[in-house]
Amino acid sequence: MPKVLFLSRYARLGSSSRLRLYQYLPYLQEAGIDVTLAPLFGDDYVRSLYGGKIDKLSVLKAYVDRLGFMLRAARFDAVWVEKEMLPWVPAWLELGLFPAHAPLIVDYDDAAFHRYDQHRLSLVRTLLGRKIDSVMLRADIVIAGNEYLANRARNAGAARVEILPTVVDMARYGVAASGAGGQALPTIGWIGSPATAQFLHLIAPALREVAASNLARVVAVGANADQLGDLPVTALPWTEATEVTVIQSFDIGIMPLPDAPFERGKCGYKLIQYMACGKPVVASPVGVNSMIVRDGVDGFLATTHQEWVSALTRLIADRLLRQQMGREGRHRIENEFSLQKAAPRLVRLIESVLE
């Protein structure tokens, strides 16, 4: 049985690690892969991160533990890494501590390289600006969540680049009747984390205009109430156990994004979640959003204030259109963004490194 070491950034509570690794575990184990999980940061760290209080000693311990796994990596048949092994450590040191001949798979679901090459400090840009490129170059396979990330890997000289989008488990994501939340008004919903809740302010005027009409309510799942300021938005808590049920209570899903380098590397997961539940979407045409949303078919792409207001008011007023777009979106996700389709492919990619 081949042994693979999985060096994820987080444990299951971290969304990127949960989606890019943990939901695949049953498929990997069924394929006969002996999985060793070694997240850099545990769930307590994620809770502290979103709460704004990080224990520096726990971070130091995490790095020491990670270093131990890196030094033992040669005992495994392959190593899967989420983004990088030691964040904020130069590539020459990180890769120097990693066995030279250990087969390496690296996975990216966001533009982690822009945290360095777009950093405000020139020292960081100088020391780390090409770090991720060096990791990509060292990898036997780079698995990228979209074309933007894949293109960076190709430009870095990666030996092999494969695109595997972020996906949802269709066994979890069912379609509920419109208005499943029991609300008198249609619900415009957003789901995410405190790290991305700020993007709701990009469409603040549109949300205010729609809310002022008293024709819909707006909710934000996973945002802290104090982040929303005077937005006409109700903050709701996020848990993995309830996220699907909450999305099913939406009538429309939204994903505003700024057109900036880091955001161009996002994988559009919110849209995939909404569409998997049969909900029409309205999104900024940034990065992969423009590929996921077929404008006028399963949702609308909106840039200007008027485009956002027009798209939202049209969907609010037309229940049949919401249902039609929702069906189209659900079908798209089943065929192109489902765990059931992606899992066998990830297994094959890992097995190809083991050969």
Tell me the per-residue pLDDT of 225-276, one tens digit each, with 9 for 90 and over.
999 999 999 999 999 999 999 999 999 999 999 999 999 999 999 999 999 9
Q: Is the pLDDT of residue 181 over 70?
A: no
Helix ranges (DSSP H) in 191-288: 204-212, 243-248, 261-264, 269-276
pLDDT grade, residue 121 (50/70/90)? very high
pLDDT at 59: 93
Contact, 281 vs 293, CB < 8 A?
A: yes
pLDDT grade, residue 179 (50/70/90)? low
355 vs 234, residue with greater confidence: 234
pLDDT grade, residue 178 (50/70/90)? low
pLDDT at 182: 52
Strand, helix or coil at 182?
Answer: coil
If you ran DSSP here, which 8-state letter would residue 143 be given? E
Query: What dihedral do alpha carbons 172, 177, 183, 185 form, nearest 10°?
Result: 120
Q: Is the pLDDT of residue 125 over 70?
A: yes
What's the Cα-to-Cα distance from 235 to each of 162, 222, 232, rounded to whole Å?
37, 7, 10
Q: Which of 297, 288, 240 is nearest to 263 (CA)?
A: 288
pLDDT at 33: 97
pLDDT grade, residue 183 (50/70/90)? low
The pair of three-digit structure tokens given for residue 333, joined into one six-digit string: 């996700």
Share of residues in the chain with pLDDT > 70 (%): 98
Enumerate domains of the chain plus CATH numbers.
3-167+339-354 (3.40.50.2000), 187-336 (3.40.50.2000)
Mean pLDDT, residues 2-8 taken together: 98
Tokens 């250990």 — which residue? 102
The pair of three-digit structure tokens given for residue 62, joined into one six-digit string: 């995490």
Q: Is the pLDDT of residue 51 over 80?
A: no
Q: In what order do the strands lie in the sheet with 299-301?
A: 234-236, 217-221, 187-191, 252-255, 281-283, 299-301
pTM of the model: 0.93
pLDDT at 180: 45
The string of pLDDT tens digits covering residues 65-96 is: 999 999 999 999 999 999 999 999 999 999 99
CA–CA distance, 117 with 123 (Å, rounded to integer): 10
